[in-house]
């Protein structure tokens, strides 16, 4: 073999590898999707986004395997977005830690973007999560979050709340991400956080728990309200709320040692605004 041909071999390998990283096949639907009622779709949307937000197993009942089965079952019932979440987020085994999309995953992502651009709020919110997961164009992340939240999608309502809120770190207000164009509005962020929590977003409810338990991010220290919101978070039933219990118990003890009243109880049916009487 000539030296010229030998030198061409590495170039061919590099070109083939580069082609693999950009090649996107046509997307094939994994299954047929029976039609869902509006109520079924809303229920599955909330369940899907709450479940995917939990990382790892919370033993003994809330395992990764259980979560995968729940998400695939939603897909089998007709919720296509659950299939796309399974393909594109760290739900199936072997994806965590990888930093590039496989060709079949790129096809799924393009299909997801097509659904999002047609105005599907669930697809818009999932597209935002996928963009953040794979470090894609974050300008589209913000656009999809805003579109989904404006359409009433619960999980992206919570994300938008976070974008609007002025977060305070150890050295003062935290900087705004480079890609964020919407201005900070702390009051609106707090309003959207409460709205997302009332919609059933577990992360929003746990954020409020920590706010009242620590007396931070504009929340007045109130152990009773923290306990009440934790009870609401437990209703979501992903297991995530159980991991907050030890911290709340410790903070309750700290507050009690400082002479703060920790015995007040609030009505979760009234969104923890009304005190319960003996």
For residue range 195-237, list pLDDT tens digits in order.
999 999 999 999 999 999 999 888 999 999 999 999 999 999 9
Q: Are residues 209 and 165 in the same domain?
A: no
Q: Are residues 80 and 108 in the same domain?
A: yes
What pLDDT shows up at residue 57? 87
In the listed set 148, 174, 200, which residue is the last one of a domain according to the structure?
A: 200
Q: Are residues 90 and 213 in the same domain?
A: no
The arithmetic mean of pLDDT across residues 56-60, rounded, is 85
Q: Are residues 64 and 138 in the same domain?
A: yes
Q: Are residues 63 and 193 in the same domain?
A: yes
Residue 30 pLDDT > 90, yes or no? yes
Q: Are residues 72 and 205 in the same domain?
A: no
pLDDT band at 20, cuts 50/70/90?
Answer: very low
Q: Are residues 191 and 74 in the same domain?
A: yes
In a domain, 12, yes or no: no
In the listed set 200, 225, 247, which residue is the last one of a domain according to the structure?
A: 200
Q: Are residues 66 and 189 in the same domain?
A: yes
How many CB atoms lie under 10 A from the CB of residue 256?
A: 13
Q: Are 267 and 274 in contact (CB under 8 A)?
A: yes
In a domain, 84, yes or no: yes
What is the per-residue pLDDT across 77-108, written as a single tens digit (0 to 9) for each?
999 999 999 999 999 877 777 889 999 999 99
Closest CA to 107 of 123, 121, 88, 122: 88
Work out how many domains the chain is built from and give that number.
Answer: 2
In a domain, 20, yes or no: no
Domain span at residue 264? Answer: 201-278
What is the per-residue pLDDT across 150-162, written as a single tens digit (0 to 9) for each?
999 999 999 999 9
Q: Are residues 257 and 135 in the same domain?
A: no
What is the per-residue pLDDT across 109-132, written as a single tens digit (0 to 9) for each?
999 999 999 999 999 999 999 999
pLDDT band at 18, cuts 50/70/90?
Answer: very low
Q: Are residues 247 and 119 in the same domain?
A: no
Residue 17 pLDDT > 70, yes or no? no
What pLDDT shows up at residue 93? 75
Sign of CA dihedral 137, 139, 140, 146: positive
Residue 250 pLDDT > 80, yes or no? yes
Q: Are residues 192 and 278 in the same domain?
A: no
In a domain, 226, yes or no: yes
The arithmetic mean of pLDDT across residues 52-59, rounded, is 90
What pLDDT shows up at residue 56? 86
Q: Are residues 160 and 254 in the same domain?
A: no
Cross-strand partners of 207? none
In a domain, 17, yes or no: no
d(CA 203, CA 103): 32
Average pLDDT of the chain?
Answer: 91
In a domain, 8, yes or no: no
In a domain, 210, yes or no: yes
Residue 249 pLDDT > 60, yes or no? yes
In the listed set 200, 221, 238, which residue is the last one of a domain according to the structure?
A: 200
In a domain, 148, yes or no: yes
**Burial class of residue 68 (count of CB atoms within 10 Å of its CB; 0-12, 13-18, 19+):** middle
- Percentage of residues in the chain having pLDDT higher than 70: 91
pLDDT band at 168, cuts 50/70/90?
Answer: confident
What pLDDT shows up at residue 5? 54
Residue 44 pLDDT > 80, yes or no? yes
């Amino acid at each position: 073999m000539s030296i010229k041909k030998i030198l061409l071999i590495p170039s061919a390998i590099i070109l083939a590898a580069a082609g693999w990283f950009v090649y996107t096949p046509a997307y094939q639907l994994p299954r047929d999707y029976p039609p869902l009622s509006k109520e079924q779709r809303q229920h599955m949307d909330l369940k899907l986004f709450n479940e995917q937000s939990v990382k790892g197993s919370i033993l003994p009942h809330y395992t990764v395997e259980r979560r995968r089965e729940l998400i695939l079952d939603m897909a089998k019932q007709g919720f296509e977005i659950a299939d796309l979440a399974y393909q594109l987020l760290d739900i199936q085994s072997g994806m965590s830690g990888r930093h590039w999309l496989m060709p079949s995953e790129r096809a799924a992502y393009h299909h997801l973007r097509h659904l999002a651009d047609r105005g599907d709020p669930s697809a818009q919110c999932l597209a935002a999560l996928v963009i953040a997961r794979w470090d894609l164009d974050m300008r589209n992340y913000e656009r999809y979050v805003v579109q989904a939240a404006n359409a009433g999608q619960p999980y992206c309502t919570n994300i938008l709340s976070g974008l609007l809120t002025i977060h305070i770190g150890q050295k003062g207000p935290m900087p705004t991400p480079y890609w964020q164009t919407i201005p900070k509005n702390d009051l609106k962020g707090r309003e959207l956080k409460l709205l997302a929590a009332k919609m059933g977003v577990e992360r929003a409810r746990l954020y409020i728990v920590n706010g009242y338990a620590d007396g931070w991010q504009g929340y007045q220290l109130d152990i009773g309200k923290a306990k009440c919101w934790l009870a609401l978070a437990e209703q979501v039933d992903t297991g995530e709320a159980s991991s907050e219990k030890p911290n709340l118990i410790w903070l309750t003890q700290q507050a009690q040692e400082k002479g703060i009243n920790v015995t007040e109880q609030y009505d979760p049916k009234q969104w923890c605004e009304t005190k319960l009487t003996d």
